[in-house]
Amino acid sequence: MKHLFIVNPKAFFLKDYVDNVCTDIRLFFSNYPEVQYDIHVTRWKRDAVGFTRRYVSAAERIVRVYAVGGMSTLMEVINGVVGMPNAQVAAWPFGIDNVFLYNFGKDRVQRFSSIRNLVFSEVSSFDLIRCGNNFGICASFIGLEALAVQAGDRIRSNIDHLPSWVVRSGWLYVFSALYYAFKSGTVKTYQVVIDGTVLHGDYINILIANQPYLGSNRYPAAEARPNNGLLDIYLVRFVRGIKFILLALDYAKGRYYKWPGYISHYRGKSVAVSSEKIMEICLDGEHFYDTAVEYEAVPQALDFALPHGQESLMDKRQ
């Protein structure tokens, strides 16, 4: 087996950390001179997609690719290796959030920060979301949440001296969501087709989820699982005033059932969403715009490295 570390320098709050992480990798493998490994520090957005695909294609053995960063780094790595039978993926969490890892217990995420744990681990297969020509593992938003993530990212990238606790707390995204929730034009008319069933409606937000979490304390898709071959779809209508804040609080905790007139939950293998107006789309932190988009659950499409003991927790959540 070969090991490829994809290091995203944008995921680190201090530039020195990039050198420190690379040094840690080299020191670890100095104890295993027979093991082949490489480190690639990404140079631009989506650099990891092409680099990873070329690297794995040229290998004559299994390659475990480590996404050293946040969700965007993991998404790039996934899109680089998807469909390649000799690829495995591991996540070494840095950045703002690594929501996929919360599936295995928030108190156990630190286990993914150990090089030894990641290198000497087994893999388990998980589903992916195909969104047009891109693939994700967590969730896609259309509408309000996509706008909020985009605005929060823009604020964070333009303010160099924000305390890390502010960035990590998610308040930038909460305030962005509230702003766009009361901004005219956020609600659009959509046609949503779930496994052939056609739905029409005016929605402020659409969530297509492969797993429960959107943040450390937000799990609106509480019933979604990344290994059941299905997508969980939530269609959210707008409600005015204080009711919107109450709805948002319940939505964030997976209590959609308390708002039957405003939040509809469906489950399916494929989803097509279209609108006469341009839609704001976000897939695992990456942004797109279109008037139509198709989603599909791709079962068991990714071999993902899990430190010892993580799989048992996932089994309990079935």
DSSP notation for 66-108: EEEESHHHHHHHHHHHTT-TTEEEEEEE-SS--GGGGGG-GGG
Tokens 């490295």, located at residue: 305
Of 79-83, 116-120, 183-187, 230-234, least confident by mean pLDDT is 183-187
Q: By C-alpha distance, which of 203, 202, 221, 204 is closest to 212?
A: 221
- Mean predicted confidence (pLDDT) in 214-234: 93
- Mean predicted confidence (pLDDT) in 245-250: 91
Say whether pLDDT at 156 is over 80: no
Q: Which among 8-17, 98-107, 259-268 has the top mean pLDDT? A: 259-268
Gyration radius (Cα) of the chain, Å: 20
Say whether pLDDT at 173 is over 70: no
The set of residues, in sequence order, having a beta carbon less than 8 Å from that of 75 and lying 6+ positions away, is 134, 135, 136, 137, 283, 284, 285, 286
pLDDT attached to residue 178: 59
> Helix/strand/coil (H, E, C) string of 189-236?
EEEEEECCEEEEEEECEEEEECCCCCECCECCCCCCCCCCCCEEEEEE
Higher per-residue confidence, 130 vs 12: 130
Helix (H, G, I), strand (E, B) or coil at 57: helix
Helix (H, G, I), strand (E, B) or coil at 39: strand
Q: By C-alpha distance, which of 55, 50, 51, 8 is closest to 36?
A: 55
Tokens at 1, concatenated: 């087996």
Higher per-residue confidence, 89 vs 166: 89
Structure confidence at residue 165 as a pLDDT band (50, 70, 90) = very low
- At 199-216, the pLDDT tens digits run 999 999 999 999 999 887
pLDDT attached to residue 17: 86
In degrees and rounded to multiples of 5, residue 49 shows phi and psi of -60, -55
Sign of CA dihedral 69, 137, 212, 253: positive
| Percentage, residues of the chain above pLDDT 70 | 85
- At 6-61, the pLDDT tens digits run 999 988 766 678 999 999 999 999 999 999 999 999 999 999 999 999 999 999 89
pLDDT attached to residue 216: 78
pLDDT attached to residue 182: 58
Structure confidence at residue 181 as a pLDDT band (50, 70, 90) = low
Q: Please, what are the domains in the chain? A: 2-126+300-316 (3.40.50.10330), 139-298 (2.60.200.40)
**DSSP H or E run through 63:** strand 63-69
pLDDT attached to residue 208: 98
Alpha-carbon gap, residue 272 to 289, rounded angstroms: 14
Alpha-carbon gap, residue 233 to 44, rounded angstroms: 32
**DSSP H or E run through 314:** helix 310-316
Kindly report the pTM of this predicted structure.
0.88
Per-chain mean pLDDT for the chain: 88
User: Counting Cβ atoms within 10 Å, is residue 79 exposed (0-12), middle (13-18) or buried (19+)?
Assistant: buried
| Burial per residue of 192-226, b for 16 or more beta-carbon CB atoms within 10 angstroms, e otherwise | bebeeeeeeeebbbbbbbbbbbbbeebbbbeebbb
Alpha-carbon gap, residue 169 to 172, rounded angstroms: 8
| Percentage, residues of the chain above pLDDT 90 | 69
pLDDT attached to residue 197: 97
Say whether pLDDT at 162 is over 70: no
Structure confidence at residue 247 as a pLDDT band (50, 70, 90) = very high
Say whether pLDDT at 80 is over 90: yes
Kindly state the DSSP code that residue 13 receives in the 8-state scheme: S
pLDDT attached to residue 185: 57
Kindly state the DSSP code that residue 14 receives in the 8-state scheme: S
Say whether pLDDT at 318 is over 50: no
Sign of CA dihedral 87, 89, 95, 98: positive
- Mean predicted confidence (pLDDT) in 97-107: 87
Of 12-16, 40-44, 276-280, 293-297, least confident by mean pLDDT is 12-16
